[in-house]
Amino acid sequence: MTEKVAKHKVVSFTYNILNDKGEVEEENSVPTDYVHGSNEQVFPAIMADALEGALVGDTKEISLPPEIGFGPYDKNKTYRAKLEDVPPEYHTLGIQATFQDEDGKKLLMTVISIDNGEVFLDGNHPFAGKTMTVRMTVKAIRDATVDEIGSGLPQKYQQEQEEKNKIH
């Protein structure tokens, strides 16, 4: 019997994320695993619309507008500061820093420009506000274990999570 992507299956897939011109913006050739139907880490539209019923070797595409994809662009997640007010380690394009607001919420920000004596940091996802296309190729499908179904995470990610919890 040929395995199909369905609820309570562990699915391994590789993917490309393309912009509105069809250019690859991100590529992952190392398979990513998830428990189909119970993992909130994978966009619900991908599970419900694109991969449901797929077979190993199938390549599927789905368009993700901001509302169901990477979210709208939020100007409140940007910060501009004078270069002399920013520590030197953040004077490089692409450098990331985690900031915490008064409520304790953390936001990862990236230095996206340095000009006119100012540093511009952006906490939006790089694809925020954009419609992106995700192209996925199914690499493997297997039944999920009881633990995987309960946690919503494939075994290898459960182990990683346990290791992180030990460190913190």
Of 130, 101, 98, 105, which is closest to residue 18 (Cα–Cα)? 130
108 and 26 in a common domain: no
DSSP 8-state secondary structure symbol assigned to residue 46: I
pLDDT one-digit tens code per residue, 142-161: 999 999 888 888 887 666 65
64 and 95 in a common domain: no
Residue 1: inside a domain: no
65 and 46 in a common domain: yes
The helix (H) or strand (E) run that includes residue 14 is: strand 9-18
14 and 62 in a common domain: yes
Residue 50: inside a domain: yes
pLDDT one-digit tens code per residue, 83-127: 998 889 989 999 998 888 778 888 899 999 999 999 999 999 999
Look up the domain containing 96 and give its range. 75-122
Of 128, 118, 122, which is closest to residue 95 (Cα–Cα)? 122
Report if pTM > 0.85. no
25 and 57 in a common domain: yes
With vertex at residue 20, the alpha carbon angle to CA 131 and CA 140, rounded to the nearest 5 degrees, is: 75
Instruction: Give the full edge-to-edge strand order of the sheet including 118-122.
Output: 78-82, 118-122, 106-115, 96-100
CA distance 61 to 63: 7
